[in-house]
């Protein structure tokens, strides 16, 4: 007989209560207080010291080493594996939740304060001693004792909407543990910065129609989230629209094969979305907010100096220079102008001089307040800031 879990439906969110296994059907929802587990907002170990200075002082076409993002243990740099940054404009910080399928199994959100230039942890992670088969909930993809998600690769599927940090990548990956690990699994989930609580979607794995290595971006005009990529089996995909207010998913237009582990960026100057691959292929999406089935996506003929294929598929909109940029490889920054449909490759200057930054996976975002891109490199666990300059070319 299938056991059931009790839930509280609040503001369109399902919050797990202290039971096990499968959710009750919608007709059997019982009013019960959600699991309340206070999360202290201090790191368990001291974070690295903040960098000295201000991002506003960074010269054009210059990347600056802001110091390490690792401090907990030797697995810290692995937080970036197949994962990306999410920009919190209100809190003015970069957030990351990563790891999964490897040694990094911490379950906290790491945040980089863009004023203090310092990393911290928003709450203590689930102790490794609590990562047991009995404490796992692979329907939700969470640890029951803390209600925190399993570590997971976030790809380009994490973003901040209002005061919530969303993980649209639904597959939790508990692994590399001391004993038997729970099965992989999970749901879309979000962390509320104000209440310091994680919540989980009412949509189980069978109702989540996208591949875990798809890409997501906020539509600021509607407050909804676009998800673009293959279907759950990695086959033909769609444009899907997720509504955070109602925790609902709508299926839109079929899409051509864009591969996977791509990025999706909204470009405000022309109200279009762009799908970008690491090798410079680009697709343009015209999102119809009134009829998502009328949404169109088309491959673009691009010119210029596109990047070579790599693992560094992370891009962001630069509101100062009105370009989409990122994909830092061997000290070279790649920018795309959606208006002219042109790629440009720029050799970055670095502070200290002589270092050669390499962006890891999808870990790049843009800080509107300073006009700088922020990105991470993994082997040396470094945080970087870069100010783009319009008109620079390879070697300049």
Rounded Cα distance between 167 and 84, Å, is: 11
The residue assigned the tokens 């010269």 is: 59
pLDDT value, residue 392: 54
Q: Is the pLDDT of residue 186 over 70?
A: yes
| Domain-embedded: residue 144 | yes
Could you tell me the CATH number of the domain that includes residue 67? 2.120.10.80
Out of 18-22, 176-180, 277-281, pick the least confident. 18-22
Give counts: helices (H), strands (E), the chain.
0, 33
6 within 8 A of 19, measured Cβ to Cβ: yes
Between residues 391 and 313, the one the model is more confident about: 313
DSSP code at position 207: G
Decide if 379 is inside a domain: yes
Task: Give the model's confidence band at 10: pLDDT under 50 very low, under 70 low, under 90 confident, else very high.
Answer: very low
Whether 4 is in a domain gets the answer no
The total number of structural domains that make up the chain: 1
pLDDT in tens, 323-366: 999 999 999 999 999 999 999 999 999 998 889 999 999 999 99
Mean pLDDT (whole number) for 84-96: 98
Is 117 contained in some domain? yes
Domain assignment of residue 190, yes or no? yes
More confident residue, 22 or 41: 41
How far is it, in rounded angstroms, from Cα 318 to Cα 333? Answer: 13
Domain assignment present for 278: yes
* Position 44 pLDDT exceeds 80: no
The domain containing residue 87 runs over which residues? 51-387
pLDDT of 45 strictly over 90? no
pLDDT at 179: 86
- CA-based R_g, the chain, Å: 20
pLDDT band at 41 (very low <50, low <70, confident <90, very high): very low
Neighbouring C-beta atoms of residue 111, cutoff 10 Å: 21
pLDDT in tens, 232-250: 999 989 999 999 999 999 9
Is residue 326 helix, strand or coil? strand
Q: Per mean pLDDT, which range of 25-29, 145-149, 300-304 is the poorest?
A: 25-29
CA 187, CA 164: separation in Å to the nearest integer?
16
Q: Is 284 helix (H, G, I), strand (E, B) or coil?
A: strand
- Residue 36 belongs to a domain: no
| Distance (Å) of CA 84 to CA 136, 267, 276, 377 | 25, 19, 15, 11
Relative to beta strand 323-329, strand 315-318 is antiparallel
**33 found inside a domain:** no
Q: Find the mean pLDDT for residues 359-388.
A: 96
């Amino acid at each position: 007989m299938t056991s059931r879990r009790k839930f509280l439906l609040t503001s369109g969110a399902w919050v797990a209560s202290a039971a096990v296994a499968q959710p009750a059907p919608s007709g059997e929802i019982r009013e019960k207080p959600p699991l309340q587990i206070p999360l202290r907002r201090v790191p368990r170990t001291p974070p690295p010291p903040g960098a000295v200075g201000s991002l506003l002082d960074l010269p054009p076409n210059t990347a600056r080493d802001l110091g390490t993002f690792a401090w907990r243990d030797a697995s810290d740099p692995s937080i970036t594996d197949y994962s990306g940054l999410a920009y919190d404009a209100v809190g003015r910080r970069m957030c990351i939740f990563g790891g999964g399928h490897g040694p990094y199994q911490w379950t906290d959100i790491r945040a980089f304060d863009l004023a203090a230039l310092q990393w911290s942890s928003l709450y203590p992670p689930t102790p490794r001693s609590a990562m047991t088969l009995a404490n796992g909930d692979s329907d939700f993809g969470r640890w029951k004792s803390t209600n925190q998600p399993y570590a997971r690769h976030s790809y380009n599927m994490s973003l901040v909407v209002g005061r919530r940090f969303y993980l649209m990548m639904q597959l939790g990956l508990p692994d590399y543990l001391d004993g038997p690990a729970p099965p992989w699994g999970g749901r879309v989930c979000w962390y509320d910065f104000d209440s310091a609580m994680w919540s989980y979607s009412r949509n189980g794995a069978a109702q989540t129609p996208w591949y875990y290595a798809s890409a997501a971006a906020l539509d600021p005009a509607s407050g909804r989230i676009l998800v673009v990529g293959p279907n759950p089996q990695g086959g033909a995909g769609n444009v899907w629209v997720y509504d955070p207010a109602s925790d609902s998913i709508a299926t839109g237009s079929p899409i051509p094969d864009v591969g996977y582990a791509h990025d999706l960026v909204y470009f405000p100057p022309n109200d279009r979305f762009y799908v970008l691959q690491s090798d410079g292929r680009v697709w343009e999406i015209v999102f119809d907010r009134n009829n998502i089935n009328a949404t169109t996506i088309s491959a673009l003929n691009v010119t210029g100096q596109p990047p070579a294929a790599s693992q560094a598929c992370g891009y962001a909109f630069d509101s100062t220079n009105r370009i989409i940029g990122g994909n830092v490889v061997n000290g070279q920054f790649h920018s795309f102008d959606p208006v002219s449909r042109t790629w440009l490759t720029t050799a970055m200057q670095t502070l200290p001089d002589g270092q050669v930054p390499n962006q890891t996976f999808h870990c790049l975002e843009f800080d509107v307040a300073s006009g700088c891109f922020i990105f991470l490199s993994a082997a040396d666990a470094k945080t970087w800031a870069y100010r783009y300059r319009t008109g620079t070319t390879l070697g300049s």
